[in-house]
Amino acid sequence: MSLREEFLKIKTKEEFLKEREKFRNLKFDKELMDHQNKLFGECYVGGDISKGVIEEVYKHNPRNADTYYD
């Protein structure tokens, strides 16, 4: 099973967080981003990617679904 297939089989964010390092170098396309959005909710991803600065902004904390930011 490929790394991509393993990622697409994940059903909860807890499963993903346990194996997060495994997927660090996975190249994300639209399908993988959509699947990640199902796990964590949609977010803004930005920053200066050419300089290695990447920021993710979620409406709620992806590690604690009970915490919301307004």
What are the tens digits of pLDDT across the range 6-61? 999 999 988 988 998 898 888 888 898 888 888 877 665 666 667 766 666 556 55
User: Rounded distance, CA 22 to CA 10, Å?
Assistant: 13
Q: Nearest CA to 42 among 52, 33, 30?
A: 33
Q: Is the pLDDT of residue 4 over 90?
A: yes
Per-residue confidence (pLDDT) for residue 41, from 0 to 100: 73
Phi-psi region of 40 (alpha: psi -120 to 50; beta: other; left: phi over 0): alpha
Per-residue confidence (pLDDT) for residue 70, from 0 to 100: 45
What letter represents residue 38's amino acid? K
Per-residue confidence (pLDDT) for residue 7, from 0 to 100: 94
Structure tokens at 19: 């194996």
